[in-house]
Amino acid sequence: MSTPFGSVIAAPPPKLRELVCRDGSKYYARIPEKNIRAALAEVESQRALASSARPANGSGQILAVELDLAARMALNPAKIMLWQQALARRKTSLAKKMASTGIRELRELDANFRACWPVRNKGTTEKCSVSSVGDRRLPPRQSAF
């Protein structure tokens, strides 16, 4: 799970960026937690700024919803990095709390994505990039522990 957001904005040293992008989770432990949290805070700040916009027409309103959805999607890999780091530091209680919060957020994100998809796209979400790894919808009440 390597993303540009998680691998570059979270700011690994420039000489490691290619490796972090290529080998993601192996190098996430090297990204300082403060950098990940700063990246999360910046995306949340931009979400707040974008949510203050008042689009004048329907297509602008759809774009605003899609932009917020994309920002929420960008946040999750960084949150997963923080969860992985908590596990690595053996902070089990924190990791369990983060996992249950993350699962709830991912379920909500999945439902929102599936609701937004038909507005601009024909067909179903089965062949979109989010579903390209198979429909791995999260089972109810299951965590990583």
Tell me, yes or no, whether 66 lies in a domain. yes
At 3, list the tokens: 């993303």
CA distance 70 to 66: 6
For the cut 90, the answer to whether the pLDDT of residue 19 exceeds it is no
Give me the number of domains the chain comprises. 1
DSSP 44: H
Q: State the pLDDT confidence band at 91, using cuts at 50, 70 and 90.
A: very high
The dihedral sign for the CA sequence 22, 26, 28, 31: negative
Tell me, yes or no, whether 137 lies in a domain. no
Tell me, yes or no, whether 117 lies in a domain. yes
Tell me, yes or no, whether 136 lies in a domain. no
pLDDT of 32 reads 85
Tell me, yes or no, whether 141 lies in a domain. no
How many other β-carbons are positioned within 10 Å of the β-carbon of residue 144?
A: 12
Tell me, yes or no, whether 145 lies in a domain. no
At 15, list the tokens: 């000489």
Tell me, yes or no, whether 142 lies in a domain. no
Q: State the pLDDT confidence band at 97, using cuts at 50, 70 and 90.
A: very high
The dihedral sign for the CA sequence 20, 23, 29, 34: positive
Residue 26 belongs to domain spanning = 4-131
